[in-house]
């Protein structure tokens, strides 16, 4: 049986952590100003770092959306049931990756 209070607390924690990461990624993915006298190689490095930060930002935003969806579904009677195979998702899996609607077997398939 799923401990909904424990899961809710974990979701709150992960949502806050992900929101902090998003704020950091947004700052790191700010445009690289051509007016900065940082040199050509350094500018290319800055542009590459910006692209990496933008990818991380997209990933974090998707995770935040899934976490908030799970949080809004805490009262759903199907909570903890794999959306692919219909089997119960182990509680430890839910606590480790609450944003995933799949059991380990279906997630890796």
pLDDT digits (tens, 9 = 90+) for 11-63: 999 999 999 999 999 998 888 766 655 666 687 888 888 999 999 999 999 99
Is residue 87 in a domain? no
Residue 10 scores a pLDDT above 80: yes
Instruction: Give the model's pLDDT for residue 36.
Output: 58
107 within a domain of the structure (yes/no):
no
Residue 26's domain spans which residues? 4-78
Per-residue b/e over 29-64, b at no fewer than 16 CB within 10 Å?
beebeeeeeeeeeeeeebeeeeeebeebbeebeebb
The DSSP call for residue 89 is P
Tokens 């380990």 found at: 104
- Do 32 and 47 contact (CB within 8 A), yes or no? yes
Within a domain: 95:
no
Q: Tell me which residue of 79, 97, 75, 100 sits closest to 88, measured CA to CA.
A: 79
User: Residue 93: inside a domain, yes or no?
Assistant: no
Number of domains in the chain: 1
């Amino acid at each position: 049986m799923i401990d909904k209070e424990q899961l809710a607390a974990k979701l709150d924690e992960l949502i806050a952590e992900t929101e902090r990461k998003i704020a950091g990624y947004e700052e790191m993915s700010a445009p690289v100003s051509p007016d900065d006298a940082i040199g050509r190689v350094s500018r290319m490095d800055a542009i590459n770092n910006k692209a990496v930060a933008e990818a991380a930002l997209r990933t974090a935003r998707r995770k935040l959306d899934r976490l908030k969806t799970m949080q809004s579904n805490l009262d759903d009677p199907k909570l903890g049931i794999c959306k692919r195979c219909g089997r119960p998702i182990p509680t430890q899996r839910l606590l480790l990756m609450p944003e995933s609607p799949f059991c380990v077997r279906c997630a890796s398939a």
